[in-house]
Structure 1
Amino acid sequence: MLKKILVCSALLLVAFVVMMTVTGQTEFTREDEVLLATSPAEVWTVLSAVEQWPQWWPGFEAAKVTPALQPGARLDLSLKGDPGSKPAIVETVVPGRKLSWVRDGILGSTTHTSLRLSGATGGTVFVMQSRIRGPQAFLARITSQERFSGYHQAVLKSLQLRLGAAPDTLRLPAGDA
């Protein structure tokens, strides 16, 4: 019996090592956008007020950037249902145009979030992109396409409402990545 348990354990360990090796460079990306009826400067004001994200961004209980919103800064995000989250690191800050950060995912994966703004006729195109690299991406491809899209749509709607859009004017073009 002990021999069978050891053999099964060894086989599981080998399978885990193979899975980690095969999926180590796997990538999952989801991108969605919305046309906001405000200027990029107005949108940027809301995005750059990190400590206020929990007031409008679904899923955030707390958000704090240290020392300031700049590349390399620490971004502490307390997510509902995930109280022990490691901090993210701000990757890119281009005022009025782009904000992105990276954080550790599960099984050695990394998760990247990017928010991009561009001027458009009638307002601002806001693009939200989530990208995962590593074994977690393999799992996300199988189980999370619709969940990521639904979450993005909830964030986009909430941002529109934060910017003062009336619910009947919400426009959410579906983006596919």
Structure 2
Amino acid sequence: MLRKVLLCVVALLLAFAVMMATTGQAEFFLEDDLVLASSPAEVWEVLSAVEDWPRWWPGFESAKVTPALQMGARLDLVLKGDPSKRPATVETVVNGRKISWVRDGILGSTTHTSLCLDEQGGETLFVIQSRIRGPQAFLARLTARNQFADYHQALLRSLQLQLAEDAASPLPQDS
């Protein structure tokens, strides 16, 4: 009996090692977009206010950027149901156009998120890209494509609602 248990453990360890070796360079990529009836400047104002993301970004409990929204900054994102406290690192900031960051994933993987804006006749094409590299990408391709797509769509709707709410609220008057 002990021999069978030992053989099963060895077989599982070998299978795990093979999976890690063969999926180390795996990649999962998903992109979604939406044309927003707001100017790029209005959208950028919402995106660059990182500490306000939990007001409209589904699943965020808190968000903080240190020292400021710039390349190399630390991005502390606390997600509902995710007990990890791994910070992200801001990869790209192109004022008014793009924010991207990278965060450590599971099993040595990395997750990359990119938010891009493009002006289209007074409106804004907003594009979100999610990319995972490493063993987690293999798992995401097998089990999570629909969940990622649903999450992207929820994010797009939520951003659209936030922009509409901002446009409807009166601007503060200078005294």
Task: Work out whether the TM-score is over 0.5.
Answer: yes
Q: Distance in 2 between matches of 1:151 and 1:74?
A: 24
The answer for the alignment partner of 2:105 in structure 1 is 105
Q: Distance in 2 between matches of 1:71 and 1:2?
A: 54
The Cα shift of 1:122 comes to: 4.0
Pick the structure with greater CA Rg.
2
What does 1:21-36 correspond to in 2, within 5 Å?
A: 21-36=21-36
The Cα shift of 1:129 comes to: 0.5
The C-alpha deviation readout for 1:157-176, integer Å capped at 9, x for no partner, is: 110111117xxxxxxxxxxx
The answer for the alignment partner of 2:146 in structure 1 is 146
Structure 2 gaps, min length 5: 166-175
Q: Distance in 2 between matches of 1:7 and 1:164?
A: 61
**Percent identity over the alignment?**
70
Q: Distance in 1 between matches of 2:34 and 2:80?
A: 25
The answer for the alignment partner of 1:8 in structure 2 is 8
Partner SS for 1:163? helix
Runs of 4+ residues over 6 Å off in structure 1 = none
Q: Distance in 1 between matches of 2:83 and 2:48?
A: 23
TM-score of the superposition, structure 1-length normalised?
0.90
> Larger RCO: Structure 1 or Structure 2 (Cα < 8 Å, ≥ 6 residues apart)?
1
The Cα shift of 1:5 comes to: 1.7
Contact 1:79-1:85 at 8 Å conserved across structures? no
Structure 1 gaps, min length 5: 166-177
Q: Distance in 1 between matches of 2:101 and 2:157?
A: 21
Q: Distance in 1 between matches of 2:121 and 2:8?
A: 62
Q: Distance in 2 between matches of 1:8 and 1:84?
A: 31
Q: Distance in 1 between matches of 2:56 and 2:130?
A: 18
Stretch moving more, 2-11 or 127-136: 2-11
In the alignment of these two chains, the number of paired residues is 165
Q: Distance in 2 between matches of 1:141 and 1:81?
A: 21
Contact 1:86-1:104 at 8 Å conserved across structures? yes
Partner SS for 2:32? strand
Note if 1:95 corresponds to 2:95. yes
The answer for the alignment partner of 1:156 in structure 2 is 156
The answer for the alignment partner of 2:84 in structure 1 is 84
